[in-house]
Structure 1
Amino acid sequence: MLDALRKGAGTWVAKIFLVLLVLSFAAWGIADVFRGFQTTTAAKVGDAEVSLIDFERSYRQELDRIGRQIGRPLSTTEGAQFGIPQQVLARLIADAAMNDEARAMNIGLSKEELAKAIQANPAFQRGGKYDRNLLLELLRSNGIREEQFVTDQQLTFQRMQIAEGISGGMSAPKTMLEAVNAYQNESRSARYLVLTPQSVGVLADPDEAALTAFYDERKTDFRAPELRALTVLELTPENMAKAETITDEAARTEYERTINRYRTDERRRVRQIPFTDPAEAEAAAADMAAGKTFADLMAARNLKETDVDLGLLARDKFLDPAIAEAAFSAAQGIVAQPVKGRFSTVILEVAEISPAATRPFEDVRDEIKASLALAAAEKDVMDLHDEIEDARAGGTTLAEIGTRFNLSPLTIAAVDSTGKDANGNAVTLPGTGDLLAKAFDSDVGVENDVLASGQRGYLWFEVASVTPARDRDLSEVRPAVVTAWLAAEREKKLADLALATAERLRKGETLEAVATELGLEIKTDPALKRNLATADLPATTANEAFTGPVGTVVEAAGTAGNRVVLVVDSIATPAFFLEAEEIKPIDEQITRQLQDSLLNQLISQVEKDKGVEINQAGIAQIIGTSRTQ
């Protein structure tokens, strides 16, 4: 939302906020920690400060943004593991550096011009006009005071003036645009052979000496992983709920209390044709009265079913009350008279009516019983959780707890850190995805913290035993080693065949002659492009076709484990016209990169000249880490 508040400030604002491109902030090492500054300050550049409050707010907003992208919330400590605090702080420090430079240069902006700039922001406009109430709503939803926002905007527009002065008039040189266009849009025609693993024929199994040598070099690939035996006790409402204990009387009482949940309002499928001119709608109604059908009207206006069908909707789901009233006042068929809606006059047809209905108790009895049992079990789970925790605190094992509370602990005989058993089969694990990681961080005899299971459940576990990882004897894994040897040998022979084929072509043999001898089909790609994969060629292989002139022979990886031998037949260099539509995005991209580069250089120099200091302890407290971590 804050991005929306600043969106209308223009492209230069984006450049200021993109200063996290400054590579000098890849780590915390921007200077040493604060000495004698206020504990409310996160960082300082010259006389400009970044407050801990601003840092925490920006950091949490960035966590929220990333959390929405990945579909789950990120904690402050998780964000620290991904380096997000460094990125946020780098941006704030860069802003502070520009603020201090603006102060030193005596750059300002009048209140009148600032007000005009804020009012011109589309984010604060309704119907093309500035709406102060909309601005206040946005500020309130983001927890920002109006005076703080105005101050922030003042600083933003001051930074914009510096940015405009540094790189505002810069544009991409024509020579650079021409070179980039040639690089991006050049295409090459090529013919190639696809050599598959089957091209090397049938391989014999290795002899004992070869197999032993192969295994000795790769023992770690066949190593038996560490295995752990676990005892797991899971307590969830789902496995505690007993629907059979709920009586029919209780279920019927709940049914009558929540009867609206089982009711479905009447719904109607309506088709409509809008008319901007009411007179046209009247004429259409007259045509229908004379015998034309709704389908005839659709055909006359080249309308498809998807153009006219509003869907099967309840009365309150119609956007236009007038249309809803007309649709629900008519029998199934056509509403002959035009209906004046909110946006246009329409002719309606009620194509389908789904009457209101209530699901009978007999149809939902089991569903209600299950719901009541689950609700009762949720309360039982909380009570039982506390009793189990008390028992564990007294040294009671999970097996003993299961006996005491009539629960059934699950015994997992052996599982490795990837969730497989001793034979490599997947093990079905209960509860949370944290179980394996926690189990392999624990040890035999350790009392472990309770884990969450689902939304309202709990899971306890004990490590019963640990089987250390070990090197297997060749006799234990012989079939797997033979398979691996054959795959490696086939890959080696395929690579040798591809290299030999490419060498034959380089020495003057024709692709046709080589293809005939090997029994392969010659394939053609008339327009290979850089960095674009095809069905047979990965992007890296396509790129190799651009490493030499016409006649270049390329031997490289194909898709699906194949090898490719390719010959470049022709080169097509794209024409260059500065005014061409396809050149505009290239021009904009390069111009933006050059401008950003200049700004980054300025910011780096300002930070170097004025010095940057960071309150490491204060930042560590916000992100939940210590300085020693």
Structure 2
Amino acid sequence: MLRGMRKASSNWLGKIIMATVMGFLIISFGIWGIADIFRGFGQSTLAKVGHTEISANEFRQLYTEKLQQIGRQFGRPLTMDQARAFGFDRQVLQQAIAEAALDEEARKLGLGQSNDETMRMIFNDPNFKGVGGAFDPARFQAVIRQFGFTEQRYVADQRRVSLRRQIAGTVSAGLEPPNVLIEALSRFQNEQRSIEYVKLDAVQAGTIDPPSPETLAGYFDDHKTQFRAPEYRKISFVVITPEDIGKWSEVSDEEARKIFEQRRDKLGTPERRQVSQIVFPNVEEALAARNRIASGLSFDDLAKERGLNPTDVDLGMVAKSAIIDPAIADAAFTLPSGEVSQPAQGKFGAALVKIGKIEPGAEPSYESVASSLKKEIATGRARASVATLHDKMEDERGGGASVIEAAQKLGLAAVTIDAVDRSGRLPNGQLAANIPPGLDVVSQAFGSDVGVDNDPIQFNGGYVWYDVLGITPSRERSLDEVKDQVEAKWRDDQIASRLRAKATEMVQKLDQGGNFADEAAASGLKVETANGFRRDASLPGLPASVVETAFRTPKGGVGQTAGGANEWIVFRVTDVSVPPVDLASEDIKKLKETLRRGLTDEQLAQYVTKLETEIGTTINQNAFAQATGANN
């Protein structure tokens, strides 16, 4: 299995999945710990944790949802075979078992959450808020239905999630990464290097004579696979999303203006002021201090007298809504710049308020936001229509209608593409322009066949139905069909070979003590520099391989790497530096938080593994293999 995973992770998709797949899990559990407890039992139950059973259907639904999430994230679907190669099937099972173990522990500890608290969490979820910013029942129903939940099931699920978080928070409370680790990672991340470099291009390769017919034919024979005509498919599809349906609705100015008035403050930019305050125990002391200011004492000197630091006094550049105490807010936003208020009786005492810089607010006109508001209103209305059209479309498809026939009957616009390859390109090499951005209908079509009744794809809060209408198999092209492409590729290979040889020769001379500027001048090259870049830098005009290679090269060392098309880079590392670590900086605080999350995940993984052992976990291997496609 390890060999298979290494092989799978060698391509682009494997690297992405192996690096990010755990981000899709609710909790990251780093230890499997139950690989030796598989044994067979009833097919309806896939796993059992204590008294909690995970049904095969329940796991299959969870597994399918996770695969779809990854497909949407990376713009192409993840097949069952790929998922198993990456170990994703076991990670999802691990998640389900871990959640069940936490649920068992919550019951054992007697933890609970009231219906009122659960509903409060749901009502405050921004995913369920409508145009006016309030909880929208229709939106709630549409969203949970899209992910396969009933209302009862979703509420119960959120209650369980909340209880799991209570346990996780208790287990991980107080974890702090050691400063030694923070400093080591900071030095690694913030190490900086500087290089001087030259770019060898086609000019340095010299004149390349056209290839003889025999040479070109031989080259073509050796590289035929690069010039094959790809497989093409003819597909049709229809898109039903709230945004598309919302275009059919007409929203009046009266409706849009109503929302505009409700959200005027949020749509505009509020006035902000630099506010400082000094709080006194009572109005009498505040008034005496105000009289001293009127007699010439500065506000800052008064603060120093009272032993206050600037951070104790300065509230920063804030909007009125950001000041918690209404009395202080009113005083601050009625004064001109540079003035000190009379005593204002707030919740925490009597305060003197001083105003510094004032940034005027900006209120948008209705006209500037009318179109976006109307679109938002129309889209919100259309969510209910999506569910209705979904059912009608499924009825038509169930009756044997093709996507085009069903779309015509329902008054929807179907799209037909006569020929498209796996990359979404037409035979002329151009990307298919009539596929909405983010819609992965091409990969789905290449995983299907002519005459197959495909399940709809979830997309932008709606659905996409598609049919494969025809398949043009991949084939070998003749040399006459692609002669220009073959000759261009042969020439590029010749240039690359010559540049690599020249770069290697230059590096050898520099390693033997040659001067970088002299060697560059001898080849007619211009020396350029890149200074103070880190490992994650993107250097203008240079490929990422330059940064990667430079950080493997010692100070004074020389390296080379391929550049862009018909280009090669030779460089010398001129400086290596590591900035001092400031444990109080914002960057270090972010790094510390990242490490804390990692420690939390590890601590929680150990805790859950212990729970699984104590509670007892069994897994139906046959049901697991069937749910993940291993038996297909």
TM-score with structure 2 setting the length: 0.55
Q: Specify which of 303, 316, 320 is matched with residue 325 of structure 2.
A: 320
Look up the match of 2:105: none
Distance 1:477 1:189 in 2: 44
Name 2:561's counterpart in structure 1. 557
Shift of 1:567: 7.8
1:454 maps to a residue whose letter is: N
Find 2:233's aligned residue among 217, 228, 232.
228
1:491 match: 496
**What is the number of residues matched between the two proteins?**
490
**Matches for 1:242-391 after TM superposition, within 5 Å:** 252=254, 254=255, 261=262, 264=265, 269-275=272-278, 285-286=290-291, 289=294, 309-314=316-321, 317-327=322-332, 330=334, 334=339, 336-339=341-344, 345-349=351-355, 351=358, 377-391=382-396
Match of 1:471 in 2: 476
Matched, 1:143 2:134: no
1:413 to 411, 418, 425: 418
Deviation at 1:394, TM superposition (A): 2.8
- TM-score between both structures, scaled by the size of structure 1: 0.55
| Closer/same/farther in 2, CA of residues 255 and 446 from structure 1, 3 Å limit | closer
**AA in 2 matched with 1:455:** G
| Match in the other structure for 2:176 | none
> Is the contact between residue 47 and residue 620 of structure 2 (CA under 8 Å) also seen in structure 1?
no
Whether 1:448 aligns to 2:451 is no
User: C-alpha displacement at 1:617, in angstroms?
Assistant: 1.0
Which of 433, 438, 441 matches 2:439? 433
| Conservation of the 8 A alpha-carbon contact between 2:197 and 2:527 | yes
Cα distance per residue 1:92-113 (max 9 Å; x no partner): 999xxxxxxxxxxxxxxxxxxx
Query: Conserved in 2, the CA contact under 8 Å of 1:533 and 1:542?
Result: no
Give 1 or 2 for the bigger CA radius of gyration: 1
Q: CA 1:318–1:80 in structure 2 vs 1: closer, same or farther (change >3 Å)?
A: farther
Q: Give unmatched runs, 5+ long, in structure 2.
A: 1-26, 99-157, 174-179, 181-187, 578-590
Return closer, same or farther for 1:486/1:87 CA change in 2, 3 Å cut-off: same
Within a 5 Å distance, the mapping from 1:156-171 to structure 2 comes to: none
Contact 1:322 1:340 in 2 (8 A): yes
Query: Which residue, 480, 485, 510 being the options, matches 1:480?
Result: 485
Question: Superposition RMSD on alpha carbons, in Å?
Answer: 6.8
For residues 507-559 of structure 1, the C-alpha deviation after alignment (integer angstroms, 9 at most, x for no partner) is 7877676445323467899999999998978356446645xxx99x8563265
Range 491-500 or range 193-202, more displaced = 193-202
Q: 1:490 to 1:615 in 2, by over 3 A?
A: same
TM-superposed deviation, 1:259: 8.1
Question: Per-residue deviation at 1:207?
Answer: 3.1
Are residues 559 and 343 of structure 1, via their aligned partners in 2, closer, same or farther at CA, if it must alter by over 3 Å? farther
Residue 205 (structure 1) aligned with residue 210 (structure 2)? yes
- Residues 124-160 of structure 1 deviation map (CA, whole Å, 9 limit, x = unaligned): xxxxxxxxxxxxxx998642599x999x97xx99xxx
Distance 1:422 1:378, change over 3 A: same
* Match in the other structure for 1:615: 618
- Is the 8 Å Cα contact of residues 554 and 565 (structure 1) preserved in structure 2? yes
Give the secondary structure class of the aligned counterpart of 1:337. Answer: coil
* 2:218 counterpart letter in structure 1: A
Residue 477 (structure 1) shift: 2.7
1:241-276 superposed Cα distances (whole Å, 9 cap, x missing partner): 566767x6xx74x57986852554996544312337
Aligned partner letter, 2:457: L
SS at match of 2:505: helix
Question: Which residue number in structure 2 is paired with residue 518 of structure 1?
Answer: 523
| Paired residue type of 2:431 | A
Alpha-carbon contact 2:40-2:620 (below 8 Å) kept? no
Tell me which amino acid in the other structure corresponds to 2:318. Answer: G
Q: Name the CA shift for 1:384/1:185 in 2 (closer, same or farther; >3 Å).
A: closer
Q: Is 1:401 paired with 2:406?
A: yes
Contact kept, 8 Å, 1:232 with 1:411, in 2: the verdict is yes
Question: Per-residue CA shift, 1:290-344, capped at 9, x if unaligned?
Answer: 689999999xx9989x966543334xx432233124346x465645314465678
Rounded Cα–Cα distance in structure 1 between residues aligned with 2:380 and 2:533? 63
3-state DSSP class of the match of 1:615? strand
Could you tell me whether the CA contact under 8 Å between 1:420 and 1:426 is conserved in 2?
yes
8 Å Cα contact 1:20-1:87 kept in structure 2: no
Is the 8 Å Cα contact of residues 242 and 379 (structure 2) preserved in structure 1?
yes
Distance in structure 2 (CA, Å) of the matches to 1:145 and 1:504: 62
AA matched with 2:454: N
Residue 312 of structure 1 aligns with an amino acid whose one-letter code is A
DSSP 3-state at the match of 1:412 = strand
Match of 2:491, as an amino acid?
A: L
State how far apart, in whole Å, the 2-side matches of 1:88 and 1:405 are. Answer: 39
> Match for residue 107 of structure 1?
none
Give the Cα separation in 2 of the matches to 1:518 and 1:357: 60
How many angstroms does 1:493 deviate by? 0.4
Deviation, structure 1 residue 220: 1.5
2:328/2:353 contact within 8 Å kept:
no
Q: Is the 8 A contact 1:531 1:543 kept in 2?
A: no
| Equivalent position amino acid for 1:617 in 2 | N
Quote the offset at 1:348 in angstroms: 3.4
Secondary structure of 1:485's match? helix
Question: Aligned pair in 2 of structure 1 residues 245, 524: CA closer, same or farther (>3 Å)?
Answer: closer
Distance 2:534 2:380 in 1: 61
Relative to structure 1, is the Cα distance of residues 468 and 270 closer, same or farther in structure 2, using a 3 angstrom cutoff?
Answer: same
Question: Structure 1 pair 474/416, CA: closer, same or farther in 2 (3 Å)?
Answer: same
- Give yes or no for contact 1:499–1:555 (8 Å, CA) kept in 2: no
Determine the C-alpha separation between the residues in 2 that align with 1:527 and 1:229. Answer: 52
Matched residues in 2 for 1:331 and 1:289: separation? 15
Taking the aligned partners of 2:369 and 2:197, their CA distance within structure 1 comes to 65
- Counterpart residue number, 1:120: none
Per the TM alignment, residue 504 of structure 1 is displaced from its structure 2 partner at its CA by 5.0
Q: Name the % identity.
A: 27
The Cα of 1:288 is off from its aligned counterpart by 5.8
CA contact (8 A) 2:38 2:621 kept: no
| Offset of residue 287 of structure 1 | 6.6
Q: Is the 8 A contact 1:233 1:408 kept in 2?
A: yes
**Aligned with 2:396: secondary structure?**
helix
Query: Do the aligned partners of 2:193 and 2:576 also contact (CA within 8 Å) in 1?
Result: yes
Deviations 1:52-98 (A, max 9, x none): 78xx99xx9xx99xx89x989x99x998775356569899999xxxx
Checking the alignment, whether the CA contact within 8 Å between 1:243 and 1:369 is kept in structure 2 is no
